Amino acid sequence: MPGLVEWYAIAFSNGETDRYPVSGFGSYAAVNMFNPSLFVNEIMAINDSTISDESGEFDDWFEIYNAEEYPVPLEGFYVTDKKDNLTKWQFPASDIEILPSEHIIVWCDEDEEQGIAHTNFKLSGSGEFLAIVAPDGVTIVDSISFQQQQPDISYGRTADGGEEWNFFDSPTPGATNQLLSIDQYNYIPFGTTDFQHGITAGSNNFQIQNQPGIYRVSFKLTIQKTGGNSQNIKFFLAKGYSSTNLVAGSEVYANVSNGEIITISGEKLVQLNAYESIGIFSDTSSSSVQVLASGSSFNIEMISQ
């Protein structure tokens, strides 16, 4: 069984007994090399500008996520895009391992000479099969059959290692797949932004540094209701870290019913002073209202000083 194995040893010699450790237990992590919980977590079959490999090339990639509580050495594992050839490409001899809850990128670029995580096949943008196979060459650790893909939009598990898949126009190669949620303060942490002119993005909102001016603030939200009754939700911009400083006229309403996914958008010109911040808030704290990273964005752009 994989997991933490505890042990102790007893030695008998000339009528004496020694125990090691003297008290308690030693321990080591036992690794199930033949079917660890590794996942094909996110893929990008058409990478025009999202991320480049060590050679500066925008090649196809996919992400492996380790859901185990122990590191998994990748040497000997296979990766394939052919159901009838499970040993198409093998991780070479190396000390590469994937730590618990870690994500690693595998480049599918037919550039094996470029490093230890470059396969001898690419990913088809029109869809295909992709699998991680155990070192026995037989056991499929995880696989996905994906459909037509779009440039620079990744396809991944909504949550790391989860069963549900989504398209992400904010790909997260090498990092946690992002499902945004409305947190206890009813505001929405955005993972990605397009911003310029001395604006920093915090985890929850965006602060103007030394460039006061008029900014065009625009947002798009893809909202999913995962339970309960239909709900009418107000989204709005507010200055500072509190929802009380509403930017008048920025309100957008979304009526979403259980199981539904809808997209709303809004745009507002906002005067921001130096070191003033702006974020997007909602009037709900319902955990059944979720904002999908895929299809959501927050953009801020200086119009005039």
- The binding site for Ca ion (CB under 5 A) comprises 42, 45, 53, 57, 59-60, 63, 109, 111, 122-123, 125, 172, 177
Residue closer to Ca ion, measured from CB, 109 or 142: 109
Residue closer to Ca ion, measured from CB, 57 or 183: 57
Least Cβ distance, residue 178 to Ca ion (angstroms) = 8
Least Cβ distance, residue 89 to Ca ion (angstroms) = 14
Residue closer to Ca ion, measured from CB, 282 or 296: 296
Least Cβ distance, residue 78 to Ca ion (angstroms) = 20
Least Cβ distance, residue 102 to Ca ion (angstroms) = 11
Report yes or no: 245 and 300 within 8 Å, Cβ to Cβ.
no
Residue closer to Ca ion, measured from CB, 145 or 232: 145
Closest CA relative to residue 246, chosen from 255, 235, 257: 235
Least Cβ distance, residue 52 to Ca ion (angstroms) = 8
d(CA 79, CA 42): 14
Residue closer to Ca ion, measured from CB, 166 or 177: 177
d(CA 114, CA 112): 5
- Tell me whether strands 193-194 and 289-304 are parallel, antiparallel or unpaired: parallel
d(CA 157, CA 179): 10
d(CA 183, CA 181): 6
d(CA 242, CA 263): 24
